[in-house]
Amino acid sequence: MPVPRKFDRRPPERDQTRINDRIRVPEVRLIGADGKQIGIVKTSEALAYAQERDLDLVEVAPDARPPVCRVLDYSKYKYEQAQKQKAARRHQQQITVREIKFRPKIAQNDYDTKKGHVSRFLKNRDKVKITIMFRGREVTHPERGTALLDRLAGELSDIGVVEQSPVQDGRNMTMLLAPSKAVLAGEKDGKQEKAPEGRRAKGAKGEQPTGEQPAVAEADVSPEADVSPEADVSPEPDMSPEPAWRRRLTPVTNRAVRQLGRHGATLPRSALLAAVPCRR
């Protein structure tokens, strides 16, 4: 009993080519391994003929009456077909259709920006569909859209050709531009030229040193300079541990104490507490 289609969980067969026992017709037109036509024979005889030569019986023309079968190595046949398809895809040129939308009352800056996009698409060998969108009563003046499309096509005539003339469809007017022969030949591509080297910033570190050496201020070592031991020498910092009451002060208080100057450490505790707030 055959399994109903809705309950059949088996994956579908991707290879629909019938070979060997899958050929169910009573007779076939047989072609030998050397390419010569043997004639119309029964399917069982054709299968025995292929098995004697350790080859497969492959149905190459299922729509013919009777179907045409050939004796060959099916694995090698599939590999050759895959290589042919890969080579065909390698030589194909895929063209993408881009779309840019304009308005009849487009400003000059917006027009220049969108024209740059169209130019970039054409240089990348893509087709561009230009659409003019009419709004409200603008549709009663289609000549404005036609003039805008003609202007764009004229300014890009060196890299693009009009493949489809302006056609109005409802509230939209479309035109199709295709890359010119110069772009397809590679004379004008979308690769940008290398930008010139940037100017070196002022005071850059990479500047080569000149022969002049910067002047260095020499210390005053004249004999008249006072180098006696009684000269004013800054005292050494006090390395004694900080008292506990000083450590209880907040960061703001500590900063205020440091602002009192060098003599803050010698002030009595009562004077410091009176000068700055203390954390309780």
- Tell me the per-residue pLDDT of 116-151, one tens digit each, with 9 for 90 and over: 999 999 998 899 999 999 999 999 999 999 999 999
> Of the given ranges (24-28, 68-72, 194-198, 210-214), which has the lowest mean pLDDT?
194-198
Whether the per-residue pLDDT at 163 is higher than 70: the answer is: yes
How much is the pLDDT for 34? Answer: 82
Residues in the chain, total: 280
Tell me the two tokens of residue 115.
């024209």
Q: What is the DSSP string of 39-68?
A: EEEEHHHHHHHHHHTT-EEEEEETTSSSPE
Identify which of 130, 118, 261, 134 has the alpha carbon closest to the alpha carbon of residue 190: 118
Rounded-to-integer distance, Cα 173 and Cα 165, Å: 10
Contact partners, residue 179, CB within 8 Å, separation at least 6: 122, 123, 125, 126, 127, 159, 160, 161
Share of the chain above pLDDT 70, in %: 61
Ordered strands of the 37-42 beta sheet: 37-42, 27-31, 68-72, 56-61
Side chain identity at residue 11, one-letter code:
P
- Please compute the mean of the pLDDT values over residues 101-115 and round it to a whole number: 94
CATH homologous superfamily of domain 97-184? Translation initiation factor 3 (IF-3), C-terminal domain (3.30.110.10)
Beta bridge partners of 172: 133, 169
pLDDT of residue 198: 45
Q: Is the pLDDT of residue 257 over 80?
A: no
The chain-wide mean pLDDT, for the chain, equals 75
- Contact 107/77 with Cβ under 8 angstroms? no
User: Whose structure tokens read 């003019």?
Assistant: 132
Kindly report, as residue ranges, where domains of CATH 3.10.20.80 are found in the chain.
18-89
> What is the structure's pLDDT at 147?
93
Mean pLDDT across 200-210: 46
Question: For residue 123, how many other CB atoms are within 10 A of its CB?
Answer: 17
Chain region(s) in the chain for CATH 3.30.110.10: 97-184
Predicted pLDDT at 172: 94
CATH class of 18-89: alpha beta
Determine the pLDDT at residue 244.
59
Nearest to 175 by CA among 232, 137, 131: 131
Average pLDDT over residues 204-219: 47
CA distance 273 to 280: 12
Pick left, alpha or beta for residue 24 (phi over 0 → left; psi -120 to 50 → alpha; otherwise beta).
Answer: alpha
pLDDT of the residue at 74: 86
81: left (phi > 0), else alpha (psi -120 to 50), else beta?
alpha
Q: Cβ(106)–Cβ(75) under 8 Å? A: no
Is the predicted pLDDT of residue 210 greater than 60, yes or no? no
Give the global pTM: 0.41
User: Residue 222 carries which DSSP code?
Assistant: -
Distance CA 133, CA 173 (A): 7
- Highest mean pLDDT: which range of 74-83, 173-182, 250-259: 173-182
CB under 8 Å to 27, separation ≥6 — which residues? 40, 41, 42, 43, 66
Bridge partners (DSSP) of residue 69 are 30, 59
pLDDT at 43: 86
Report d(CA 190, CA 119) in Å as an integer: 9
Beta partners for 160? 179
What distance in Å separates the CA atoms of residue 41 and residue 122, rounded to the nearest whole number?
59
| pLDDT surpassing 60 at residue 153 | yes
Residue 199 has pLDDT above 90, yes or no: no
